[in-house]
């Protein structure tokens, strides 16, 4: 198991200023502290939709890498998106799932099928070009750069534990200023 | 919010051509059609769109996915149309609420009205699942237009242009099977 913030720090070292990143819920609060950036796409509107927003962004901007940092509970709400992404096959989409087995932001209740659900297997059978699983942060650090250089869609299941207590100011995610900053940054670059 | 069907289009024996709707979709600079198949529009719209190279068709598993995909595309400046059935619209209300309405994004939805009687206004349909659509859109503050016959087809392009100009969602209700 990896601590989520350590994992995200390792990932952040390989994210460039041109990349679009879509983190969700608890991961988002860690990510915006680790890597604040106007091209963080934070407002997904409804739980589970991050991977779908990511597909739209990847199709609309094939010149950029689009990196979605999903949650396991979130992905379970939109499992069909794996199949849609596999079929659309955007080469610039990188789909990470932070698997901690809980709805962390909603009270820490377990996800259904906790410990038995095979997210990597789902992605593999849905047609992702490459699928990875990581539970050791040292190995993740060694391989994440190469993973982000592979043609997508690429899926990576990150077996993580929580980073600890968070201050969750949701205006940092849902506020209109966040969306405007993203819009401006995407138009400018 | 409603702009109803024109008088002629309300005739039960009126007609609606898929080719004219597709011409309006193309004229609206739609680059992506995102769709779950819908019985009303399956043959007249989706099948010819699937055979064309543009707009690009993205087949999705569930309609709320499409709301997210169209939102992502909107941020990149690429226009898209979500082609679905009203059952899928009803299933996607929370996504439409959050993404399209609260975030004020130009999510353009073309919605086939399953089992609506041709020539009958949706709110006068005998089908509960048809009658409730427009009141729900009214409650959500979403603009919509009835596309019941050929006379209504010219509403499509201005509705889509306006959605993008205002950054607001719009729903185009397809009231009979296009030929």
What is the longest distance spanned by two Cα atoms in chain A? Answer: 44
Q: What residue of B is the nearest CA neighbor of A64?
A: B76
Answer whether residue A168 shows pLDDT above 70: yes
Residues (pLDDT < 50) of chain B are none
DSSP for residue A105: G
* Mean pLDDT across A169-181: 88
At A130, is the secondary structure helix, strand, or coil? Answer: strand
- Residue A107 has a pLDDT of 83
Q: What residue of A is the nearest CA neighbor of B80?
A: A56
User: Within 10 Å of residue B31's Cβ, how many Cβ atoms?
Assistant: 17
Is B16's Cβ below 8 Å from some Cβ in A? no
Is B64's Cβ below 8 Å from some Cβ in A? yes
Q: What residue of B is the nearest CA neighbor of A55?
A: B69
Q: In B, which residues are within 8 Å of A187 by CB distance? A: 77
Q: What residue of B is the nearest CA neighbor of A126?
A: B61
Answer for the pair B37, A17: CB distance below 8 angstroms, yes or no: no
Answer for the pair B138, B2: CB distance below 8 angstroms, yes or no: yes
Give percent above pLDDT 70 in chain A.
Answer: 99
Nearby residues of B31 by Cβ (< 8 Å), 6 or more positions away? B54, B55, B56, B73, B78, B79, B80
Compute the distance between CA of residue A130 and CA of residue A94 in angstroms, rounded to an integer.
10
- ipTM rounded to 2 decimals: 0.96
- Residue A175 has a pLDDT of 86
- Return the residue in B55, B65, B105, B140 with the most chain A beta carbons within 10 A, the one to mutate for interface testing: B65
Chain segment A138-154, per-residue pLDDT in tens: 999 999 999 999 999 99
- Residue B13 has a pLDDT of 63
Cβ distance of B76 and A57 shorter than 8 Å: yes
Q: In A, which residues are within 8 Å of B64 by CB distance? A: 46, 48-49, 52, 78
CA distance A151 to chain B (A): 20
């Amino acid at each position: 198991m990896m601590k989520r913030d350590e994992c995200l720090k390792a990932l952040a070292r390989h994210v460039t200023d041109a990349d679009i990143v879509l983190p969700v819920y608890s991961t988002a609060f860690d990510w915006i502290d680790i890597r604040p950036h106007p091209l963080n796409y934070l407002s997904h509107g409804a739980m589970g939709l991050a991977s779908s927003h990511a597909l739209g962004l990847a199709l609309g901007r094939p010149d950029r890498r689009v990196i979605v940092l999903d949650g396991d509970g979130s992905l379970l709400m939109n499992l069909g998106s794996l199949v849609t992404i596999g079929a659309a096959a955007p080469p610039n989409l990188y789909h990470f799932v932070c698997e901690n087995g809980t709805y962390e932001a909603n009270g820490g209740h377990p996800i259904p099928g906790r410990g038995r659900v095979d997210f990597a297997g789902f992605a593999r059978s849905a047609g992702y070009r490459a699928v990875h699983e990581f539970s050791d942060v040292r190995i993740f650090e060694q391989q994440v750069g190469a993973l982000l250089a592979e043609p997508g869609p690429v899926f990576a299941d990150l077996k993580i534990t929580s980073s600890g207590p968070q201050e969750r100011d949701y205006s940092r995610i849902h506020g209109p200023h966040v969306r405007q900053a993203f819009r401006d940054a995407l138009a400018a670059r | 919010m409603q702009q109803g069907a024109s008088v002629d289009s309300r005739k039960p024996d009126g007609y609606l051509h898929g080719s004219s709707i597709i011409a309006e979709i193309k004229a609206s600079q739609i680059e992506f059609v995102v769709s779950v198949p819908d019985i009303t529009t399956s043959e007249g719209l989706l099948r010819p769109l699937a055979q064309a190279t543009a707009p690009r068709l993205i087949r999705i598993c569930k309609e709320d996915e499409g709301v997210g995909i169209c939102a992502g595309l909107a941020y990149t400046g690429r226009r898209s149309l979500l082609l679905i059935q009203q059952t899928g619209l009803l299933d996607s209300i929370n996504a439409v609420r959050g993404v399209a309405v609260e975030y004020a994004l130009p999510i353009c939805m073309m919605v086939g009205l399953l089992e609506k009687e041709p020539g009958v206004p949706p709110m006068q349909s005998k089908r509960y699942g048809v009658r409730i659509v427009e009141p729900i859109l009214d409650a959500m503050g979403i603009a919509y237009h009835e596309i019941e016959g050929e006379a209504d087809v010219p509403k499509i392009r201005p509705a889509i242009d306006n959605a993008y100009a205002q950054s607001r969602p719009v729903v185009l209700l397809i009231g009979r099977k296009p030929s």
